[in-house]
Structure 1
């Protein structure tokens, strides 16, 4: 049983300096494309850092923007009716993106060569602290020997 994984940082690019993608790459990222390796730390921070949930919700609304525009400009009628269609579509898209947020974030992390965890960085630190406290109290009872 090796303890090097607990002390050495993972060499997957998440701790590299943050390089923000250019606008065209960000648009492709918003629609699900992977970014180059130099952007891995930015992706990791985007999906697990502070304000990851609001960023996810805004990014998902951005990806539905063509649908909103098609609803508004593609149907005849009064402005209020067209705005109501867009509002209904936006509320459904919001519920959809909120419901599948963990799966979407895990998949985006995997696409970009990172660990597919659904926990934010803050929650990861809390889980590690809880695990350390548990192991301090209960020792290594659950470890299997081979």
Structure 2
């Protein structure tokens, strides 16, 4: 029996973290991952995974533990900054790579935006 996979296995997820495309059977998972609840937190976590070998290497440097910890903290802060700063572009790229519209939003955000437009139109008629 051939059951389509709905979630990536650990190897597929690691490939996804590094930019690989997942199979079409997982498109709903990708949509939820990039636009669902807690998508920003998942993006930050996904963005930090590739830096873990660097963090581990910094801990192996010679010197005091506080100095090595400071190196890891500085690298972590820089990684967080760049991961957050490039979140919209990375999200759009991942969506497009999986055949979804690059400007796809979560259903909650779409509903909120429609409500804001309706409120504005009601307050400012032509």
> Which whole-Å CA distance do the structure 2 matches of 1:57 and 1:37 have between them?
24
The match for 1:109 is 95
Hey, which of these two has a bigger chunk of helix by percent? 2
Assess if the C-alpha contact under 8 Å between 1:34 and 1:112 holds in 2: yes
Give the C-alpha shift of residue 118 in structure 1.
6.0
**Which residue among 16, 36, 46 is the counterpart of 1:49?**
36
Assess if the C-alpha contact under 8 Å between 1:47 and 1:109 holds in 2: yes
The match for 1:122 is 108
Give the 3 Å change call, closer, same or farther, for CA 19–112 of structure 1 in structure 2. Answer: same
Extract unaligned runs of 5+ from structure 2: none
Give the 3 Å change call, closer, same or farther, for CA 18–25 of structure 1 in structure 2. Answer: closer
Give the C-alpha shift of residue 76 in structure 1.
1.4
Give the 3 Å change call, closer, same or farther, for CA 97–45 of structure 1 in structure 2. Answer: same
Extract unaligned runs of 5+ from structure 1: 1-16, 142-146
Give the secondary-structure state (helix, strand or coil) at the position aligned to 2:67: helix
The match for 1:93 is 79
> Which whole-Å CA distance do the structure 1 matches of 2:74 and 2:106 have between them?
30
The structure with the largest alpha-carbon Rg is: 1
Aligned runs of 1:1-146 on 2, under 5 Å? Answer: 19-73=6-60, 75-117=61-103, 119-131=105-117, 133=118
Length, aligned pairs only: 122
Assess if the C-alpha contact under 8 Å between 1:106 and 1:117 holds in 2: yes
Assess if the C-alpha contact under 8 Å between 1:105 and 1:118 holds in 2: no
Give the 3 Å change call, closer, same or farther, for CA 118–91 of structure 1 in structure 2. Answer: farther
Assess if the C-alpha contact under 8 Å between 1:52 and 1:120 holds in 2: no
> Which whole-Å CA distance do the structure 2 matches of 1:90 and 1:121 have between them?
32
Root mean square deviation of aligned Cα: 2.5
**Structure 1 segments of 4 or more deviating over 6 A?**
none
